[in-house]
Structure formats: C-alpha cells, structure tokens
Amino acid sequence: PVDDVAEAAEVVEDPALLAAAAAYLVSINLPKVYEGRVTLIVGQSTQATNPDLNQLLASQRLSQTYAELATTGPLIEKVIEKNGLAVSVDDFSERITADAPRDSILVHLSVEDADPTRAAALANSLADEMIAASPAIALGSRANAVPLILLASRGRPRRRSSCPRAP
C-alpha cells in the first residue's frame, strides 16, 4: 500500500501527464464546433469533351476570385437573410473559410456552427448563393444557360477539433 501511494505521487508529479490532463479538461469544456463543407467547380472546362487549355487556365484564375467573393458582404447578407440568422455580416464571415488551391478549378467552402445540421445547411446555402450570383454562359438561349460555377459536393457536417481557431 505504501508503494502504491508513492507511485501515485510520482505520476502526479510528471509534468507531461499533468499537461495532458489539463488539456483534456479544457477541451471537454470547450463548445462543440461543427463544419459544413462544400466543393464548387469553376468554369465549363470539365463539361467539355475536349477541354480547352485557355478555359482551364481562366477557370483556375477565377477560382481564386470566387474564393475571395465567398466572404464578401452582399453574398453573406443573402445567406444570413435566407437562413434567418441573428448575426452580423462580420461575425458570420469569421465562421466561413473559402479556399481555392493553386492550379485548381475547385473552391472549397466551409461554415462553422454549433449545430451540425445547420453547419451543412449554411455551407449549402452559401454555395447556392455563389452559383446564383455567378454569370451564366448561354448555350443558344438564356433558358439553356450553364452557370459558371457548378456544385461538386453538397455540405455534410463534420466535427472540427476542439481547439479554437487562431485569429
């Protein structure tokens, strides 16, 4: 029994174990954050039988612009309004991440929320607004117009790590 108490005292004195225990206690008390993710395809090059290199390059450049557009006021205002959110544009924009990998025609959008279903719905709503705002390329008539942005994958919620995001 005395040896058990001595071993327990040594374990408590281990700084790595104390740090791990403290980190665990802090992380279980942090609010849960979920992320809804959507991927968009920019341009028409993927729909062509023989993609044109110039179209592909233009789409790659446009994807960067569309990623930046995803966090702008007018687009965010529409998402806030359509989803009945009681949040400012600035606060909501901090929950959005938009990324367009270099040399890619993809735009990855993610929206964070405390509710997993709402996180996915907000990401999908943001994607829908981006598609609606994008110009369309008319194929014969406006009725047959194809949007410049297409949906590659719908948002599904996933749990983010418990660590807060750095400012």
Nearest Cα residue to 45 out of 63, 26, 65: 63
Report d(CA 125, CA 95) in Å as an integer.
14
Give the tens place of pLDDT for each residue, 127-152. 998 888 877 544 444 444 445 666 66
Report the C-alpha gap between 127 and 20 in whole angstroms.
39
How many C-beta atoms surround the C-beta of residue 123 within 10 A? 27
Residues 44 and 137: beta-carbon distance below 8 Å? yes
Distance separating alpha carbons of residues 138 and 53, to the nearest angstrom = 20
Question: Residue 95: pLDDT above 90?
Answer: yes
Residue whose C-alpha is closest to residue 155's, from 110, 103, 96: 110
Distances (CA, A) of 35 to 44, 63, 133: 28, 21, 23
Q: How confident is residue 83, by pLDDT bands cut at 50, 70 and 90?
A: very high
> How large a percentage of the chain has pLDDT more than 90?
28
* Cβ-contact 98, 65 below 8 angstroms: no
* pTM (predicted TM-score): 0.70
Instruction: Please give the mean pLDDT across all residues of the chain.
Output: 77
Alpha carbon 89 to its chain centroid, in Å, reads: 16
What single DSSP character describes residue 139? Answer: E
Token pair 């529409």 in the structure block, residue: 78
Mean pLDDT over residues 91-106, rounded? 92
